[in-house]
Structure formats: structure tokens, C-alpha cells
């Protein structure tokens, strides 16, 4: 067991002894990723963190639906669920309740039984969460009045118009307002789950999980739902039909610690180094080396703002290797050192 894992157990002994119940409320025509994404994050903890968590998982995971039994997602995949009544008998105490999203959420929204159940349960849980349009069900139950929330960008105006007593934010992947956690939906559910794990087990645990799931470390809650990189990729696709170049940023972001010289990138995308370099500059206006440097810088900035990781370790995680190399890039691109960037960040460094 690593020293970090030992420290985790020392600080959070209750998680090694008594698992906390995490419930995901699902339904027919849900977006499966809304439920599966967060559940996979929690389920991976025993495998990845090991130690006492391997024999005593910190969370007990339960998937429920209003009537129980088999439900079918939008993708046609069916899963089995407990009913709300079965859950009440088996798990009188819920630590975290997550309402998934998807087209079928309208049935939850219109169900007096579900809304009544949500109200009764919400009064006795530590954390209330929604993924994407799951906010509509919570709003229908009257649980979002006067609260700040986010939802999927496509439905934000509709949510605000239908439930004017809440405050729907126009930006952000997820939002933490006291015991209420809401997010943009789909992959943002993974970011929200990482935020929940961070709150419980600290930044080191969240980082290990983020690395495993090859997400962009873990994204800041305030990061726009439609990122600058995504918009840049959309523009690139309109100007150049070679989708391999459009996908390049995502591939680099998932492999920041790898050898990302132009020869390796060209090999990855089936081009000669010369052809690849020319095509990339023509499409993006940057050289491949500049793109790699900026993506590593972005990763380092996120870690400096959102974790208490040592700067040396951040340099390794972001792919710079040496701290001095990262310091030179910070001075060149931002005019300050990594230490100064962390100190001036509007986000407090998380202590774990």
C-alpha cells in the first residue's frame, strides 16, 4: 500500500469500515452514460486505490427506478433495477442520491409518487445530485427553488423558463451549491463523480481515478461545457476534412506523459512527419510542438488551481517531465512561475 493510500485511510477511517450508499435513480429512456459514468468511477476505487478499500469498498452502489425491474436506455441496452419501495426496505439511509437524465426524465417530472419520494429522501441525505436533465425531476419535486444549478446547455433555457424559482447557470460542467451537485450531463457526470470522490477521499484519489479513466485529469467545475478546444476542432473540420487532425487534441490530452514528438504524432495518424507537420500548421495555425506545449500547460494550470499536488509531481503528470522545463514554459506563455500562478488563482488550492 502506498504512503498516500495509508494517509487516505488514516484520514477517512469511516470509509474503510462502513460503506456509504450511493443511489442512482434511473428510468426507461435514460442516457445510459448518465448512470454508468458516475457508477464506474465509484466502482473503480477498490481496484485502483487498493489497501483497505480492496476488501472494504467505500461505497455501496444501487441502481433504482420508480417501479423496479428491467428498464431500457435510449441506446436500447436494458439493465435491472430495484424499485423505490425495495430500496426503502434495503437502504433506509442514503448518503448520495443521483438522478440521471435523458428523454424519459419527463415521466419522473410528471410523477407525483416520484416527486413525493424525492422530497422525503432529500431531507435525510448528505448529497443530492443530478446528471444533465435530471435537474427537471429535482425541480418538479420543489428541491431546486432558490438554488443555483447547471444542466445540459441545450435545455438550460427550458429549465429556467419552466422553473423560474431556481437559478440556472449558463456555463460550467458541474456546480456544487451546499449539498446540491448538478452537472451538464453525459461525460460531465464523470467529472461530477470525481468531484464527489475528491470531497470524500481527497485530491490524490480523484487524480488516480481520472488517470485511469483517461479524462483530462479532472476538469474544473467552471470549465465551459463547450470548450475552446472543441470549438477549435469544429472550425478545423469545416476547413479540412481530415478528421484525424480534428481528433488530435483529444488524443494528445489523453497521452500527455507519452513521447509526443512530431515523428510519433505522424506515426499515430498514418502520415510522414513532413506531411503531418505541414497539414497540422495549415489546419490549426500552430506547429505540433506548440500544440503539445499548450495542452500540457493547460493540464498543469488545472492541477495548480484545483489540487495541492507538489509542483514537481504536476510537471510529471502534465508531461513536462522536469519542473524546470515546466517553469520555462510558464514564463514564456504566461509570464509567471507555476508557484505564482497557483498563488494568484481565484480557486483555492484543495487540501487533502
CA distances from 136 to 174, 269, 288 (A): 15, 42, 43
Q: Please give the chain's pLDDT, 352 residues, in tens.
A: 344 444 444 455 455 568 999 999 999 999 999 999 999 999 999 999 988 899 999 999 999 999 999 999 999 999 999 999 999 999 999 999 999 999 999 999 999 999 999 999 999 999 999 999 999 999 999 999 999 999 998 999 999 999 999 999 877 778 889 999 999 887 889 989 998 998 999 877 887 888 788 665 445 555 544 444 544 444 454 555 555 665 677 778 778 889 999 998 888 778 899 998 988 888 777 888 988 998 898 889 888 887 888 999 999 999 999 999 999 999 988 888 999 888 865 443 333 2
- Provide CATH code, domain 228-352: 1.10.10.60
Exposure class string for 21-59: b at 16+ Cβ within 10 A, else e: bbbbbbbbbbbbbbbbbbbbbbebbbeebebbbeeebbb
CA-closest candidate to residue 337, choices 314, 319, 350, 256: 314
- Report the C-alpha gap between 146 and 151 in whole angstroms: 16
- How far is CA 145 from its chain centroid? 25
Q: Contact 83/69 with Cβ under 8 angstroms?
A: yes
Within 10 Å of residue 310's Cβ, how many Cβ atoms? Answer: 10
CATH annotation of 3-212: 3.40.50.880
3-state secondary structure of 11: helix
Provide the residue ranges of all domains of the chain, joining segments of one domain with +.
Answer: 3-212, 228-352
Residue 258 cell numbers, joined: 507519452
Rounded distance, CA 158 to CA 176, Å? 21
45, 58 Cβ separation under 8 angstroms: yes
Amino acid at each position: 500500500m502506498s504512503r498516500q493510500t495509508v494517509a487516505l485511510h488514516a484520514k477517512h477511517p469511516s470509509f474503510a469500515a462502513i460503506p456509504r450508499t450511493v443511489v442512482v435513480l434511473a428510468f426507461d429512456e435514460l442516457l445510459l452514460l448518465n448512470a454508468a459514468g458516475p457508477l464506474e468511477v465509484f466502482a473503480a476505487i477498490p481496484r485502483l486505490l487498493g489497501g483497505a478499500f480492496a476488501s472494504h469498498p467505500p461505497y455501496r452502489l444501487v441502481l433504482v427506478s420508480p417501479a423496479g425491474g428491467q428498464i431500457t436506455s435510449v441506446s436500447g441496452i436494458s439493465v435491472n433495477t430495484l424499485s423505490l419501495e425495495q430500496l426503502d426496505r434495503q437502504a433506509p439511509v442514503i448518503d448520495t442520491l443521483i438522478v440521471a437524465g435523458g428523454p424519459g426524465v419527463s415521466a419522473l417530472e410528471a410523477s407525483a409518487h416520484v416527486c413525493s419520494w424525492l422530497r422525503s429522501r432529500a431531507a435525510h441525505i448528505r448529497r443530492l445530485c443530478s446528471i444533465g436533465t435530471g435537474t427537471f425531476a429535482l425541480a418538479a419535486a420543489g428541491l431546486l427553488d432558490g438554488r443555483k444549478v447547471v444542466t445540459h446547455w441545450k435545455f438550460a433555457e427550458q429549465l429556467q423558463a419552466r422553473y423560474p424559482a431556481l437559478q440556472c447557470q449558463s456555463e460550467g460542467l458541474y456546480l456544487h451549491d451546499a449539498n446540491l451537485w448538478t452537472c451538464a450531463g453525459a461525460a460531465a457526470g464523470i467529472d461530477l463523480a470525481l468531484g464527489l470522490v475528491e470531497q470524500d477521499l481527497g485530491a490524490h484519489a480523484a487524480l488516480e481515478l481520472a488517470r485511469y479513466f483517461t479524462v483530462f485529469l479532472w476538469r474544473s467545475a467552471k470549465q465551459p461545457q463547450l470548450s475552446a478546444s472543441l470549438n477549435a476542432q469544429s472550425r478545423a473540420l469545416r476547413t479540412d476534412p481530415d478528421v484525424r487532425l480534428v481528433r488530435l487534441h483529444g488524443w494528445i490530452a489523453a497521452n500527455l506523459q507519452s513521447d509526443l514528438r512530431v515523428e510519433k504524432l505522424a506515426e499515430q495518424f498514418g502520415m510522414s512527419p513532413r506531411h503531418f507537420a505541414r497539414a497540422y500548421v495549415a489546419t490549426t495555425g500552430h506547429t505540433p510542438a506548440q500544440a503539445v506545449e499548450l495542452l500540457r500547460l493547460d493540464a498543469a494550470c488545472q492541477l495548480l488551481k484545483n489540487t495541492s499536488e507538489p509542483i514537481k509531481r504536476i510537471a510529471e503528470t502534465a508531461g513536462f517531465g522536469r519542473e524546470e522545463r515546466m517553469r520555462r514554459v510558464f514564463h514564456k506563455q504566461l509570464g509567471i512561475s507555476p508557484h505564482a500562478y497557483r498563488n494568484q488563482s481565484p480557486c483555492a488550492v484543495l487540501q487533502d
